[in-house]
Each structure stands twice: as C-alpha cells, then as structure tokens.
Structure 1
Amino acid sequence: MTQRPRLAIVSTYDELCGIAGYTRALEQQLRDSMAVQVFDLDQYLLRSNHHRVQQLGDAHIQEIASRLSDFDSVNLQLEHGTLGRTVPQILRRLRMLARAAPALSVTFHTILDEAVPPMGQVWQQAARLKLGAATAAALDGLRSWTLAHGVYAELRRQQRRKPVHVITHTRRDMRLLRDVHRLADVHHHPLSFVPPETAAAIRAAATRDAFPMMKRLPPGAKLIGTFGFLSPYKGFETAVQALRYLPEDHHLLVFGGIHPQAIARNQPRDRYITQLLQEGHIGQSVIDTLREGSASTSLALDGSAAQLLARHPQDLHDRLHFMGVLDDAQFMTAMALCDTVVLPYLEVGQSSSGPIAMAVEMGCRVIASRTRAFLQFARYHPGRVEFFDIGNFAELARRIEAGPPPPAEPRGPVHDTASNAALYLRVSLPPGMLPPEAAVAEAEPLSAAPQRAETVG
C-alpha cells in the first residue's frame, strides 16, 4: 500500500480566532488526499512578555522545526502576531520554521504593506502638533515595513534552495507579492470554510431553539446578524445606528465577544462594548444623554424629573441582542437563521475576512461596507455581496429594508472548498503525486488578467 503524502500545517489551532477556524476547515478539506498534522502555535509561550517564557517560546518553535523533516511539505498559516510580539521574535521564529521545512507554502492572512501609513499623514499630524500620534504612526509604520520586508527577504532566500509557494486571499495581494516583492510562485484564492453539501444540511436543520436568547424573539422578527470578535475596526456601531431607522420588527444580533488577547486586566467593561451600549442608549436615561452632550449642562429638576431619570425613549435593549462567542458549528447555524448578515467593517488594510466567506458559503444575504478587502472578495463571488459606504447607516438601513436584489446569474469558475483544497494540493505535492482533480489549474477568474502565466485556485 502506497503511503499517503504527509503535510504539516503550522498554525494556531485551539484558539478562539479566525486563523484557527480556517486551519480546522482546511484540515477537513485535505484529509481525504493527504495525511495532515497540525502543529499548534502555543500563544501563551509565543506572546508572553516574560523573558523566561519568551525563551520557552523559542524552544517551542525549535521543537516544531525539528519534526518538519518527517513531512513531504509544510504549510505556515502566517498571521505575524501569532509568532511573537516583537519584530526580532517573529523573524527569528519564522526563519527556524522556513529553514527546517523540506518544501514550504506560506498563507498570508495579512499583508503588512497596507499597514504602513503614508508619510503625508504623519507630517499632517505633526503639523497639527499631534506629536504623540505622529510618532506612534511613524513607529508603527516602521515596524510593519521592517517586519514585512524581513519576511519577504527570508522567503526569497529560501526559494533559491527549495520549493517555496505563497498563497494570498486576493489577486491584488498576489500581484503585490509577485511583482513588487519578487516572490517566485504566488497564488490567490479567497478564504473557504463550508462545502456546499454541509451548508445545505446546516440550513435545513437550523432552528432558533439552538440559541436560548432567540427563543424569546417574536416569531416574525427579522434578524440582522453581525459576526466576529468585538473590536472598533468592525464598525458594529454603524449597524446599531441603522437599527434605529428600521421598523420595530427588525432585531440586531451581535454574535461575538472580546478577543482573548484583548481582555484587559482590572477593566470593568471593555471600551468598545461601552461604545455599543451608549450607541443603543441601553441602560441610559435622558439625563445621561444630556450630560454626555455637555459636561457643563446644569439641570433644574422639577416634577418632570421622573421622566428624565426613566429609561431612555430610544433604548434599543429589546431589539439589540449580544449573543456571545460561538464555536464553528454554532457560527454557521446562526448565519443560517439570520435574514441578513451585515459586515460594517472599517478600512484598516485587512486582506481577508472569515465571516464574509462563511456567510456567502452559507447562502446568506450579505451586506458589507465598501472596504478594499470586501470589494476584492466579491470579485470571486459575483452578485453575492451588496455594498454600502463605510459608516453610512442611513444607506445601510434603506438597503436592509429594501430586501435583496434579484439573484445574479452565476458566471466564471466557482471558488469553494473543492477549489481551495485543489490549490493546497498543487502547492504541497510534486506533479507526479497530484490527484487528477488537483492537477488541472483553473482559468483566471477575474477581469483584467495579466498576460503572464499565474496559478489560480
């Protein structure tokens, strides 16, 4: 019996984060064709500030590296911060893994070039005497530039010695790494989590009984879902603002919580949760709002004081529901139950998003802010994403209430878990070991394709 090819995936795995969720999905996609072993990046060891624990973090990476020669190929799911806190830590640990791999593929989840602020922006802040903000922006930009170019330089060195493949989530990022940073073998494919047959089964079985907090909602309630860890760049406050302009039967369900790495010591309430509660006037009275509007407001309370101290008339407590953190299966069930999935993210240079990929694969109606990442993602799934301008809650409310547009005619190649698995097989195995379904490259799926050859998953 011929031994199946062996693939090592180095990634976070048991953590509550998007990279770990994608790795779990990828493992399922590849297990029928390869023997896959995931090496979990221990975030306690790799993210600690303590000097002794940092040494244990290096030893942890060295232990993983010592085992990679037993595999035919190694894939690194690269989110830079999962390897360490500082630039030297991250680059040192990346080198250990890259040099130990017999053949290497690297999946970029963030392209740090987008994180470098333009110098004009830095000088503008300095000119306004915002020296602290200007210095912080310049230092962050320098850190991102140093880290990104250190990673690219290491991969260029390794590609002269052995097979090195790179996977990005957008064609734009592929062209940046290929044409600007001179990485030799770069591919692109959107994130993909859910096979079509699994999505259909989840939708068929999904009921509100799976979520106790949903059972109290009126049967005819229209459910708007936002998904992901609670962070200011997610822009969930835009969805809260839009809810105020929607009929009473519309309810906003916030699926997610604070990221484990963002939980602060001795903080009574996360600042972003406080912002969302204030936006929904939850737990506020009219007098609280007046005080927020002006710190110098002086009120003479008379017989109407009870009305000022009572619940705010625009309190959205009955229509805004915080649903908590979900596991992978609950996440997809929740999407299946929502009438609309809204992703109102800000533009922060992000190159991919797990929630939008899951929502599209689950067959949901998806409305997303017009960020570069979402626009790039939608090119792989024509007609599946509706857009509104970042922060425009009035447009978002109108779009939700108007209902979905007519279904788009399918066109171009399909990008799903099958094509994703085929790409990973192509970069992980030599041509003689490829199964027939993975050996044939797909046609270029996007418009304005360059004339030079490139592989598309």
Structure 2
Amino acid sequence: MDLPQITPRRTRLAIISTFDELCGIAGYTRALEKQLSPHMDVTVFDLDQFLLRSPHRRVRQQADRHIQEIARALPAFDFVNIQLEYGTLGLTAERILRRLGWLLDAAPAVSITFHTMLEVNTGLRWGDAGAALMRLRPHRAAAALVGGLRDDLLARRAYALLRRTERRKTLRLIAHNRRDARLLREVLGFGDVSHHPLSFVSASESETVRAVARRHDFPQLRHLPADAKLIGTFGFLSPYKGFETAVRALRLLPPDHHLLVFGGVHPQAIKRYATIDPYLDQILREGRVGRSVLDVLREEGAGGLRLEADAARVMETHPGDLGPRIHFMGVLDDAGFARAMAICDTVVMPYLEVGQTSSGAIALALNMGCRVVASRTRAFLQLARYFPDEIEFFDIGNYAELAQRVMAEPARDRRGVEMPFNTRTNAEMYVRLHAAPAAARAVR
C-alpha cells in the first residue's frame, strides 16, 4: 500500500519591528519580509512609535497594552524574530525591559536581530564628557556621563533577560558583523549566534532600478548639465552622520561636482517653535549658503577690514557660497533611495565614530553596485571584512582626503556584481535559523 505523501508545513514566522516608518530598521524589515515570504509564512507586527515613545502617562499605558496585544498573538507562531533597536520599545530602560520581557515570555521560540549592540562595563564616558567640557558645554558633559551609566545598566539587564530566556526555550541571536557576533558568543556567553550584513536588494534588482533611474526623475537636478558629477549622502540629518565633512570636501572639488543630500530632519528631532534644526543650520553655515561676506566676517572675525570703505563689498554674496552646488533632496521611501543611489557617481558616508554597529544606507549602496567612499569607522571597517576592497576609506573628518578620493578613478565598476553576502545568503540564514524548532513542533 502506498503511503500518502506528507507536505511539510511552512514555518509560521512573526517579525516584531518598526515597519510603517521611514527609518533604516523599518526599511530592512520590509526587505526581509520580501526575502523570506517565498520560504515561510511571515507576519510583521508593527511597533507603534507614537505610542511606544510617548512621555505621557496615559499614552504609556496604551503602549503597554499594544505590546501585550502583540504578545497574546505570538503563541500561534512557530518562531518569533525581534528586530531589536532598544529605543523602538520605549524611552526609558524600565519600559524597554518590561515590554521586551513580555515578548520573550510569549514567544514559543525566539530570535533577536541586534541593530544596536550595547557593551557592558562601559561605565562613565569620561572621554566624551571631557571633550564637551573643553568646548564649554557642561550640559552635554553631564549627559555623556549619565548616558554611559544608563546604557551600561540597560545592557546588563537586557542580557540577563536574554540569558533567562535561553535557559527556558530556543534563543538564537543575529548580529550584523563578526565583531558583535564574537562579543555575544565569547564575552557574553550566548550559545547560538549568527552574523550577516544587512542586505536589501539583489544584483538583478539593482540593475532593474539602474535601467530606469534618471536624473530627470528629481526636479531639483533638471537644470544641471549632463556632465555634472553627483556626490550623494543619505539618511536623516544627525551630527554623527558627518555631512559637514562632505560640504568641506566640496570646496576642494571642481565646480562641476555637486553634493546631493538625500534625507531630512528626523521626525523625532522636530522641536516645537524651532526656526531651524541646529544640525541643518550647521550644514548651511558650513556651506555659506545664502550668506554675505559680512555674515561670515561677523562669525569668523573682521580682521583688518575697514567696514566703512568696503561696505558695498561685504554685503555681497560670499564667494565661497556653495548654495548652487548643494541640493537638499528630501526624505524618500525605499524605492526612492535606491533610484537616488543609482544616479550618483559616488556615494559618500562621512559618519563619525559613535559605536554604531551597522548602517542601512551603506549596505543599500553596496547592494546597488555604487562606488562607496566611507569614513574609517569601526562599523564600516567590520562591513569591509565581508566585502574586501569594495569600500574606499578616508579618515574621519579628513575632508581633504575625501576630496582626493572622490577625484581619483574608482577601483572598478561594481554595477551588476553579485556580492558574496547578499539577499539570497541572508534569506538562507534566516530560513536555517527558524526552521528547526518549527519542524520539531509540527512533529509533536
């Protein structure tokens, strides 16, 4: 008698993440859902940032109920993946840990994808505090000290929570670089740790985008000559992005080079009644955009200039005004960022070192086959271990070196090249990590 054929049931995977947001984690989750859907049944639970990041007591209670509702749905899944950026769960360590604990308790089996890696024993940030005091910023110095203690406490309690979970159920951890994987495995002692760089689009998908992307898709660029060299920076405006370094480098580049700023002020950074975001103002001042000679002299000192005799000249537009060569392109969705990268001659990542472990922007640029010039941060150096010789580096803040890198010939044409770590290998890792517990549960 022939035995009936048994079709294996597809794994039911729940992903907990921001999703309906213009942020890197949400963008990665949208890409991950697309990569995994052919292989398993994926349901994304969107973390409501309006509720979870509100300081108001009544809204905080609604935020707790929001997490509890997600937790009640989790037992119906084989595996739960949490795309962990601590701040997406709340504003304080207490709220973050309480809500994370509810999710861990409810999940039948769980994996954690770390978007921020908190290290223990960091203690007081004396270096950051001292630098702030040297700039006569005592409030920033105090914030650095308090922030170091807060992050250390959050790290200790979060890892303790994960260790308790590991003793009771399947727990698998995913890092975005080898260093963080070693920290989790060798320093913190977790047993099941994997790593893979962020991956958004395949080589074939990037070529499809490149085939249709045109400069004329962006109204701000339609007046530029066809031979203009476009340098792109990407992401929400924040001091750690180092965009002012790109502006300084632009001064040293020929007039046919233009800087495109794809991004804007983060919604969480918008302040009531603020006339301009401080970092955006810094970028405009650095580029002397719309400023006269007198404006700059007031800031940098008039020296021996005789204002009465040179009154007409000092009211003129400053000769270093880069306004015509700096283009603010606004905040784009996932597809818009990919098209924007496709039209750039060079993608520049001038970030500062802030302990960041990964960057969606640089990962997407590599996926898109772009020429990438990046500052020598630890995160970018770790990423380069997956992609040897694919990133051109310059020292953090060295705008002269950045300008020289941009002017030099690129090492090679990266368009259409499938990298060794890509969307396929990323999906394979997630399928492998989430299949075994599901199969065991199906047998029971």
Q: Same fold (TM over 0.5)?
A: yes
Alignment of 1:92-241 (within 5 A): 92-113=98-119, 116=122, 120-121=126-127, 132-241=139-248
| Conserved? CA contact 2:262–2:331, under 8 Å | yes
Q: Over aligned residue pairs, what C-alpha RMSD do you find?
A: 2.4
| Conserved? CA contact 1:115–1:348, under 8 Å | no
| Conserved? CA contact 1:114–1:349, under 8 Å | no
Asked if residue 287 in structure 1 is aligned to residue 294 in structure 2, the reply is yes
Post-superposition offset of 1:133: 4.5
Post-superposition offset of 1:155: 0.9
Question: Once the two structures are superposed, what CA deviation does each residue of 1:338-359 show, in whole Å capped at 9, x if it has no partner?
Answer: 0000000000000000011000
Question: Once the two structures are superposed, what CA deviation does each residue of 1:102-136 show, in whole Å capped at 9, x if it has no partner?
Answer: 01000000112289466553785799797655432
Counterpart for residue 22 of structure 2: 16
Cα distance in 1, alignment partners of residues 373 and 248 from structure 2: 15
| Conserved? CA contact 2:75–2:108, under 8 Å | yes
Task: Label 1:374 to 1:150 Cα distance change in 2 as closer, same or farther (>3 A).
Answer: same
Quick one: which of 345, 352, 357 aligns to 1:351? 357
Alignment gaps of 5+ in structure 2: 1-6
Cα distance in 2, alignment partners of residues 252 and 123 from structure 1: 33
| Conserved? CA contact 1:232–1:272, under 8 Å | yes
Question: Once the two structures are superposed, what CA deviation does each residue of 1:367-417 show, in whole Å capped at 9, x if it has no partner?
Answer: 000000000001101111000000000001011111212469xx9981000
Quick one: which of 393, 408, 421 aligns to 2:399? 393
Asked if residue 68 in structure 1 is aligned to residue 74 in structure 2, the reply is yes
TM-score by length of 1: 0.90
| Conserved? CA contact 1:117–1:137, under 8 Å | no
Question: Once the two structures are superposed, what CA deviation does each residue of 1:158-193 show, in whole Å capped at 9, x if it has no partner?
Answer: 111111000000100001011111111111100000
SS in 2 for 1:429: helix
Task: Label 1:105 to 1:231 Cα distance change in 2 as closer, same or farther (>3 A).
Answer: same
Cα distance in 2, alignment partners of residues 326 and 386 from structure 1: 25
Alignment gaps of 5+ in structure 1: 435-457
Post-superposition offset of 1:419: 0.6
Cα distance in 2, alignment partners of residues 282 and 130 from structure 1: 27
Post-superposition offset of 1:214: 1.4
Post-superposition offset of 1:302: 3.5
Asked if residue 315 in structure 1 is aligned to residue 317 in structure 2, the reply is no
Query: Letter of the aligned partner of 2:19 in structure 1?
Result: Y
| Conserved? CA contact 2:244–2:283, under 8 Å | yes
Task: Label 1:124 to 1:252 Cα distance change in 2 as closer, same or farther (>3 A).
Answer: closer
Task: Label 1:171 to 1:242 Cα distance change in 2 as closer, same or farther (>3 A).
Answer: same
Task: Label 1:205 to 1:146 Cα distance change in 2 as closer, same or farther (>3 A).
Answer: same
Cα distance in 2, alignment partners of residues 274 and 81 from structure 1: 26
Asked if residue 249 in structure 1 is aligned to residue 253 in structure 2, the reply is no
Asked if residue 265 in structure 1 is aligned to residue 251 in structure 2, the reply is no
Post-superposition offset of 1:3: 3.7
Alignment of 1:23-42 (within 5 A): 23-42=29-48
Post-superposition offset of 1:308: 1.0
| Conserved? CA contact 2:36–2:427, under 8 Å | yes
SS in 2 for 1:55: helix
Asked if residue 384 in structure 1 is aligned to residue 390 in structure 2, the reply is yes
Counterpart for residue 437 of structure 1: none
Cα distance in 2, alignment partners of residues 330 and 184 from structure 1: 40
Task: Label 1:126 to 1:384 Cα distance change in 2 as closer, same or farther (>3 A).
Answer: closer
SS in 2 for 1:113: coil
| Conserved? CA contact 1:347–1:371, under 8 Å | yes
Task: Label 1:126 to 1:252 Cα distance change in 2 as closer, same or farther (>3 A).
Answer: closer
Cα distance in 1, alignment partners of residues 369 and 395 from structure 2: 23
TM-score by length of 2: 0.92
Matched-pair identity in %:
58
SS in 1 for 2:386: coil
Question: Once the two structures are superposed, what CA deviation does each residue of 1:257-301 show, in whole Å capped at 9, x if it has no partner?
Answer: 01111111110110111111111110100001110013x879754
Cα distance in 1, alignment partners of residues 288 and 108 from structure 2: 57
Quick one: which of 408, 412, 423 aligns to 2:429? 423
Post-superposition offset of 1:149: 1.3
